[in-house]
Structure 1
Amino acid sequence: MNSMPKYLLMALALISLIACKTSQVSTTPSPAAGMFKVAILYPNGDDKTFDMDYYEKKHMPMVAGHLGSNLKFYEIDKGTAGRTPADKVPFVAIGYFYISDVAEYNKAIAQNRDAIIGDIKNYTNIQPVINISEIRQVVGNNTK
């Protein structure tokens, strides 16, 4: 008789642990109006090289670390095609930093400029093009 409350207690503890785990909501980061997007574009061209593995595993995480809490998330795109199948890919890669404050971003980049620029030679011979934009609207596709 005495063992029944122990099993009941253990079952309740297990249910509580499972409930805690399943109640945690996993959200995917997404852009929002009012945020800023820093796009780092790497134009394609003859004799251009780009080490995507290094960019993904070393360079972008390093720069992201310099941005601190201003960075909401980042993305990396690998160019795969142009406008038509006959067109070369216009950009071999594009990196995006989603931030909340452009002045804070510029300050962090300026403070770490030498490390960031010095690392570029480790993955590419392409001069990147930087574009900073304000996200004005994010609209999802609600069709089913």
Structure 2
Amino acid sequence: MIKVSVLYPNSENATFDMDYYRATHLPLVAELVGKALVSAHADLGLAGGAPGQSATYIAMGHLVFESVESFQQAFGPHQEVILADLVNFTNTQPSVQISEIKQ
């Protein structure tokens, strides 16, 4: 299993609409990638590790797939539509990391 993490960096001017992300963006992604998606969830950044420190990321989205290949096959054809929706919930430029889930 792999996890695709989309990390939205925090800054003084960063905006993120978590309601839109959860109610519209994640369901859009799920519909487009179909059964290849095992699970999805979102995290809202609250704070950094030190008292009073801001969160490094304003939000994170996590998508779980069986393999990198299943992610690429499911996501690739819909990448343009999914990325075009970013302007509807954030003004940040996210980073993506693909990780192998170890249990």
* Structure 2 spans left out of the alignment, 5+ residues: none
2: CA distance between counterparts of 1:47 and 1:112? 29
Could you tell me which residue of structure 2 aligns to residue 78 of structure 1? 44
Aligned residues: 103
1: CA distance between counterparts of 2:102 and 2:55? 27
Maintained 8 Å contact 1:70/1:101:
no
2: CA distance between counterparts of 1:84 and 1:108? 39
Per the normalisation by structure 1, the TM-score is: 0.68
Could you tell me which residue of structure 2 aligns to residue 49 of structure 1? 15
| Cα drift, residue 115 of structure 1 | 0.8
Matched, 1:130 2:93: no
1: CA distance between counterparts of 2:66 and 2:39? 10
Could you tell me which residue of structure 2 aligns to residue 9 of structure 1? none
Of Structure 1 and Structure 2, the greater strand share is in: 2
Which of these residues, 51, 55, 58, is aligned with residue 92 of structure 1?
Answer: 58
Could you tell me which residue of structure 1 aligns to residue 71 of structure 2? 105
Could you tell me which residue of structure 2 aligns to residue 67 of structure 1? 33
Could you tell me which residue of structure 2 aligns to residue 120 of structure 1? 86
| Cα drift, residue 108 of structure 1 | 2.1
Say which one has the larger Rg.
1
Report the AA paired with residue 128 of structure 1.
Answer: P
Report the AA paired with residue 54 of structure 1.
Answer: Y
1: CA distance between counterparts of 2:31 and 2:76? 14
2: CA distance between counterparts of 1:110 and 1:135? 21
* Superposed structure 1 runs of 4+ greater than 4 Å apart: none
Matched, 1:40 2:40: no
Please report the RMSD computed on the Cα atoms of aligned residues, expressed in angstroms: 1.1
